[in-house]
Amino acid sequence: MRTDSTTARSWCGLVVLLLPALLTSMDISVLFVAAPAITEALEPTSGQWLWAMDIYGFVMAGLLVTMGGLGDRFGRKRLLLAGAALFGVASAIVAYAPNAELLIVGRAMLAIGGATLAPSTLALIRTMFTDERPRRIAVGAWTVAFSGGSVAGPIVGGMLLDQFWWGAVFLINVPVMVLLLVAGPVLLPESRNPTPAPFDLAGAALSLTTALAAVYALKRVADGGADLLAAAAALLALAAGAGFTAHSRRAAHPLFDVGLLRKPPFATAIGANTVVALATTGLGALAFTFLQLVHGLSALESALWALPTFAGAIAGSAASAALAGRMPPPVLLATGLTVTAAGLGVVAFGEPATSLGVFLAGYTVLTTGVGMTATAANSLVLTTAPPQRAGAASALSETSTEFGGALGIATFGTVASAVYASGIADAAAGRVPAHASDTVAATLTAAGGLDEPHRTLLREEALAAYTDGLTAAATAGLFAAALAAAGALTAGLRQREPSGVAR
């Protein structure tokens, strides 16, 4: 039985672990609100800016499983502290980057550090909290930090940009990492596989190739539509993924036990994580532009208005922890996904352009569902995977989140762009250059050079078309979340069937 002092140390250690979980997730979305200030200061080309936006997700998604395996072998606390030092140094490099090239390099370094931090934090929670109820609470808090970070990023960024230069949104990471480096050795236990095997270099290479190629394909589709490069990347991802699966089945000591994916609870949890990441990141990529352009809010005002969405993630996580002992895990996952779908439904059908309150209410319901689902999914991942593989299993869970985020930006962005282009075509034809109708910001800039009443007409048409694109994307997300909820519930019902029943 654990002593009170040990329990107190564990809870203090949890607070320390929440900091890197929050920051690694925030750094994915903070560029949503900081983008205008960064592009004005550094004047990157379109290609450079694309790399600055994408390289964090590329590198982090590619390295998560490998870093999780390294933590299992060499020690999760050791990897966490090394990652904290790198993340702090990289944050300072990005904050003071004098040009786009160094910004890109710094973002890549941030991703390497983030890939070491994320799986180590969740795996250490399993070591620190052996009893189920405290572990559920701890995982819920971690989920609020990691999943809520994508919501908090633009909020914190908007507040900082109102007072400081754009580098402050990254420089804030430095004192947090210093705190982790000071408190971590005292409060956190070391944790590793007690019988470490040789590191699976072939598995690491194949998993890295799979992740990088898949994320590149998704980003390529989101940015320029499906083309030969996107198709080639997708085929490479499929081939490398098949190779990773075959290798892992044959290897004596694989990087990750793919047999876990044949367990319905584990696979259902991974799928649910992917879908809620798709919903929250996909909508988040559109929401702050919507708040600032359609509703005329400043970066700080949009951040303050969005605060309830972060509260929704906290409420959802708390509800998940409270219901965990009363509901089977698949039913809890299905409930969270249903709440997520309901939030997307409010955004899609609540006339968001005319009612800011309705839009934010739907967004908050969405984040509540995300908090419920992600907390239940992460708890299920930790309890399903063997303790010696906790790092690799946690890394796969977070990789599914990265893929879900990339897929959300790709699908929501593609749907929204297609609807926008169709809606603005007639109003823009013959009045502004063709490229000015690619994005709402470009259209509004071009409209400023027109005489009245064409200026006002084009502006109104552009904002209406962007709203239509956002609601169409939310509708697509609604169907995805509803299908995932039905799938989770079906998986739960199948688990409860007698083994003799033929399927």
CA distance 378 to 316: 14
If you search the block for the tokens 């799928």, which residue do you land on?
Answer: 271
Kind and range of the H or E element at 326?
none
The residue ranking higher by pLDDT, 403 or 361, is 361
3-state helix, strand, coil in the chain (%, to 5): 85, 0, 15
Smallest CA-to-CA distance from 107 within 84, 85, 87 is with 87
Distances (CA, A) of 135 to 71, 87, 124, 182: 20, 27, 11, 24
Give 90-132 pLDDT, tens digit per residue.
999 999 988 888 988 898 888 888 888 877 787 788 778 877 7
The region of weakest confidence among 10-19, 142-151, 316-325, 492-501 is: 492-501
Q: What is the mean pLDDT of the chain?
A: 78
| Cβ contact 352:470 at 8 Å | yes
Identify the weakest region by mean pLDDT among 45-54, 382-391, 395-404: 382-391
Nearest CA to 384 among 252, 250, 267? 267
pLDDT at 502 over 60: no
Residue 268: half-sphere exposure toward Cβ, Cα within 13 Å: 30
What digits encode the pLDDT tens for the residues 311-324?
888 888 888 878 87
pLDDT tens for 173-217 read 888 889 888 988 888 887 766 665 666 677 778 877 887 787 777
Tokens of 222: 């989101």
Residue 343 has pLDDT above 90, yes or no: yes
Sequence-ordered list of residues with C-beta below 8 angstroms from that of 486, at least 6 positions apart, any chain: 334
188: left (phi over 0), alpha (psi -120 to 50) or beta: beta
Sequence-ordered list of residues with C-beta below 8 angstroms from that of 7, at least 6 positions apart, any chain = 134
The vertex-128 CA angle with 277 and 211, nearest 5°, equals 35
Q: Side chain identity at 194, as an amino acid letter?
A: P
Distance in angstroms (rounded) separating the CA atoms of residues 289 and 420 = 14
Reported pTM: 0.72
Structure tokens at 406: 């990339």
CA angle 17, 406, 36 (to 5 degrees): 85
Backbone angles phi, psi at 38, to 5 degrees: -70, -45
Q: Which two tokens stand for residue 471?
A: 């609601």
Domain made up of 4-199+255-421+467-494: CATH architecture? Up-down Bundle (1.20)
Question: Which pair of structure tokens corresponds to residue 290?
Answer: 């919507």
- Look up residue 291 and give its DSSP letter: I
Helix/strand/coil for 217: helix
